Structure 1
Amino acid sequence: MTAILSIQGVRKTFGGVVANNGISLEVPEGKIVGLIGPNGSGKTTLFNSIVGYHPIDAGSIRFQAREISGLRVPEIARLGLLRTFQQTRIYGRMTCMQNMIISVPQSSDRWRSMFRRVSPAETGKAEDLLKFVGLYAKRQLQAGELSFGQQKLLEFAMALMNEPRMLLLDEPTAGINPTLINGLISRLQRVNREFGITLLVIEHNMRVIMGLAEYVYCLAHGELLAQGAPDAIQNDQRVIDAYLGAR
């Protein structure tokens, strides 16, 4: 199966600290892949390298067969590769609808694009996506008034406004009321199935990732520790030891 994202031998250091060391993984197009590992294992650093937040020291990152490790964040985003964050990045003093409209990839100057005329198609698309994530009734509320979980859903909808080919999701269920997690999982599955968006998901909730991902990579101490189907990963003694601190 064709890989939409291919990472080969990626190394990233910060001073004398090795955050990622020789990591290689592939994400098949149209699939949901999980990325797990204990705190400090290098997951978020890898995400940041993929989308261009900091350059890698060695290795290769290819998206749709194109080398992207030397590109800047906006250039990578325009190719259709976006990420969400563990701590949301929304505009708290704007309404949900304004947050959605400002996410439209209309101009390289996001603030200037705010003041252009918004087309009926864009408004309709924003409303449809807010319905999809369950925030339509709150569309005119300031985003800062939403709960943290609702803000994460808004950020998710904002990413979908860009019609990405692939989304990197960093802890999508963190901070969300447990009663709402099943609904979020269902939406992620629908985005993958109905919109055709490939997902790479960092998640600490093992129940969530084992039920969501078709294939899982596990990092520990900045290196790839294990990979395989969810059942194999959750029964892998190396993974168990890493989470229990035995390594």
Structure 2
Amino acid sequence: MSAIIEVSHVSKSFGGVKANEDISLTVEKGSITGLIGPNGSGKTTLFNSIVGYHPIDSGSIRFEGREISKLLVPEIARLGLLRTFQQTRIYGKMNCVENMLISIPHRKMTLLEAFRRNTPEERERAEHLLHFVGLYEKRWLQAGSLSFGQQKLLEFAMALMNEPTVLLLDEPTAGINPTLINGLIDRLKHANREFGITLFIIEHNMRVIMNMADRIYCLAHGRLLAEGTPEEIQNDQRVIDAYLGAH
């Protein structure tokens, strides 16, 4: 496999607080890569830097060999690099199908224009993906009426609607009923295996990430603490002391 994301010596500060300091890591194309660490270790800041939510102070971020650290969020999204959030970003007053259609980048227009211009193929794809995440029977319900776990599944489907090359997921299982977690894991693996989507995942559920990831990076205090296979990370004393001992 070859690297699809290359983060090299990236640093980012907010005022006097160093959120990320000299971080280097790679995400291999077609892989499932994990990012773990205590709260406040800089994981979400790194995700935000990769997708363009704030400029880095120094270093380099490359996507498919192209420097992207100076690009804006929409430009990076059009390249096929998307992310989800800890708190879902859905349109609560719209039904699930409408959420899927409005999530397409070229749909960032008035709602009336959006639904005049969507194609039968897009509607078919929206319903197919809602079936894939297990929300087909709820496709006409307002998204705000769904449980938090179902809203996360909807946000996942909305991201898939854009046919991403790489999807960054920020704590995808947080707040989800344990009975739904295994189903979500299966769908993430399917998206990786069958759709060819590279996944980069922040996750606090160690059972989940250890069973999913090909490689895991651990941050602590804004710096890269360790990297390796799930087995190597579980047996790394530095990771145990800084993080895994509390899990």
Common fold, TM-score beyond 0.5?
A: yes
Give secondary structure in 1 for the equivalent of 2:77.
helix
* 1:212 match: 212
Which whole-Å deviations, capped at 9, do the CAs of 1:117-167 have from their partners, x for residues lacking one?
Answer: 321101100000000000000000000000000000000000000000000
Q: Which moved more, 1:109-118 or 1:10-19?
A: 109-118
Which whole-Å deviations, capped at 9, do the CAs of 1:54-109 have from their partners, x for residues lacking one?
Answer: 00000000001000000000000000000000000000001001000001232553
Q: CA RMSD in A?
A: 1.4
* 2:116 match: 116
* 1:37 match: 37
| Structure 1 runs (4+) greater than 4 angstroms displaced | 110-113
* 2:169 match: 169
* 1:198 match: 198
* 1:64 match: 64
- How far apart are the structure 2 equivalents of 1:135 and 1:176? 15
The 5 Å alignment of 1:179-198 reads 179-198=179-198
State the 1:110 CA deviation: 6.6
Give secondary structure in 2 for the equivalent of 1:167.
strand
TM-score (normalised: structure 2): 0.97
Give secondary structure in 1 for the equivalent of 2:70.
coil
Which whole-Å deviations, capped at 9, do the CAs of 1:7-48 have from their partners, x for residues lacking one?
Answer: 000000000000000000000100000000000000000000
Partner amino acid for 2:163? E
- How far apart are the structure 1 equivalents of 2:6 and 2:109? 30
Partner amino acid for 1:70? K
Partner amino acid for 1:217? Y
- How far apart are the structure 1 equivalents of 2:62 and 2:111? 30
State the 1:244 CA deviation: 6.3
TM-score (normalised: structure 1): 0.97
Which structure 1 residue ranges, 5 or more long, are not aligned? none
- How far apart are the structure 2 equivalents of 1:236 and 1:110? 52
- How far apart are the structure 2 equivalents of 1:29 and 1:116? 37
Question: Does the CA-based 8 Å contact 1:149-1:177 persist in structure 2?
Answer: yes
Give secondary structure in 2 for the equivalent of 1:116.
helix
* 1:83 match: 83
Count of residue correspondences: 246
- How far apart are the structure 2 equivalents of 1:232 and 1:245? 15
Partner amino acid for 1:211? N
* 2:103 match: 103
Identical columns (%):
74
